[in-house]
């Protein structure tokens, strides 16, 4: 059933957003008393004997201590940081690749500051050279994306606009 796999925002005891889980997991957390219902907005889930509200946001009953979240360095997050746009020509194409601004063979690292999104043709044109050697320019300097709640959970906000007040300020 699709309804049980929709995303639910999980808030810590101090209302700080900490995770996104499925509706099914959220209901289990609520039924076991580990979380409480904060916001519905999606209707109910009907069982044979009872109707349960389909949560959009839940809050944990106890405070969970966790380290400050960091955005993982991977291909998907590089594309997301660069808004799925080639950082050399500025076009949004289907065949995107990850390019090292300073090539690995010239001592470039595999870090946020050295990786950008590039279309296949720009990446091929640049080859194993630096940006200056290839006669190209970067649209914006690559940097580590912020680990704000808006960035971390932003991909789910499109269909869950009721989350916005809970994400702002964290």
Q: Which CATH number fits the domain that encloses residue 108?
A: 1.10.30.50
Distance CA 66, CA 47 (A): 35
Question: Is 51 found in the same domain as 29?
Answer: yes
Residue 153 and residue 163 in contact, taking contact as beta carbons nearer than 8 Å: yes
Nearest CA-CA partner of 167 in 30, 7, 3, 5: 7
- Quote the tokens at residue 47: 């069982």
Query: 30 in helix, strand or coil?
Result: helix
Predicted local distance difference test score (pLDDT) of residue 53: 83
Cβ count within 10 A of residue 124: 11
The answer to whether the CB of 119 falls within 8 A of the CB of 89 is yes
Q: Do 22 and 63 sit in the same domain of this protein?
A: yes
Decide: 36 and 29 in contact? Cβ < 8 Å. no
Domain membership of residue 146 (yes or no) is: no
Q: Are residues 86 and 58 in the same domain?
A: no
Task: Give the DSSP letter string of 3-70.
Answer: GGGSEEEEE-TTS-EEEEEEHHHHHHHHHTTSEEEEE--S-EEE-SS-EEE--SEEEESS----PPP-
- Residues 19, 42, single domain; the answer is yes
Above 70 in pLDDT, residue 1? no
Does 143 reside within a domain?
Answer: no
Q: What is the pLDDT of residue 92?
A: 93
Q: Report yes or no on 144 lying in a domain.
A: no
For the chain, what is the domain count?
2
Q: Do 97 and 50 belong to one domain?
A: no
Express each pLDDT in 53-62 by its tens digit: 888 899 999 9
For residue 147, what pLDDT is reported?
Answer: 76
Give the pLDDT confidence score for residue 151 in this predicted structure.
Answer: 75
Predicted pLDDT at 61: 92
> Do the domain assignments include residue 139?
no
Query: d(Cα 45, Cα 24) in Å, to the nearest integer?
Result: 10
Higher pLDDT, 47 or 136: 136
pLDDT digits (tens, 9 = 90+) for 79-126: 999 999 999 999 998 889 999 999 999 999 999 999 999 999 999 999
Q: Residue 37 sits in which domain range? A: 2-67+151-167
Between CA 54 and CA 46 the distance in angstroms is: 10
158 occurs within a structural domain: yes
Does residue 63 share a domain with residue 79? no
Residues 92 and 63 in one domain: no
Q: Which of 107, 98, 58, 59 is nearest to 79 (CA)?
A: 98
**Do 63 and 83 share a structural domain?**
no
Residue 59 forms part of a structural domain: yes
Say yes or no: 30 and 57 in one domain. yes
What is residue 52's predicted lDDT score, i.e. its pLDDT? 82
SS3 of 126, please? helix
Give me the pLDDT at residue 103, please: 94
Range of weakest confidence among 1-10, 22-31, 58-67: 1-10
């Amino acid at each position: 059933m699709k309804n049980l796999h929709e995303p639910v925002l999980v808030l810590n005891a101090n209302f700080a957003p900490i995770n996104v889980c499925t509706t099914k997991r959220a209901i289990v957390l609520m039924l076991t008393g580990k979380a409480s219902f904060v916001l519905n907005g999606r209707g109910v889930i009907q069982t044979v004997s009872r109707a349960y509200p389909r949560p959009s946001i839940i809050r944990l009953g106890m405070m969970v201590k966790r380290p400050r979240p960091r955005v993982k360095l991977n291909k998907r997050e590089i594309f997301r940081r660069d808004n799925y746009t080639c950082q050399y020509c500025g076009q949004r194409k289907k065949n995107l690749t990850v390019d090292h601004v300073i090539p690995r063979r010239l001592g470039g690292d595999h870090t946020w500051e050295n990786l950008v999104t590039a279309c296949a043709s720009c990446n091929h044109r640049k080859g194993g050279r630096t940006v200056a050697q290839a006669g190209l320019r970067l649209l914006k300097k690559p940097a580590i994306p912020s680990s704000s709640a808006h960035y971390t959970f932003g991909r789910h906000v499109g269909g869950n606009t009721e989350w916005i007040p809970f994400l702002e300020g964290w």
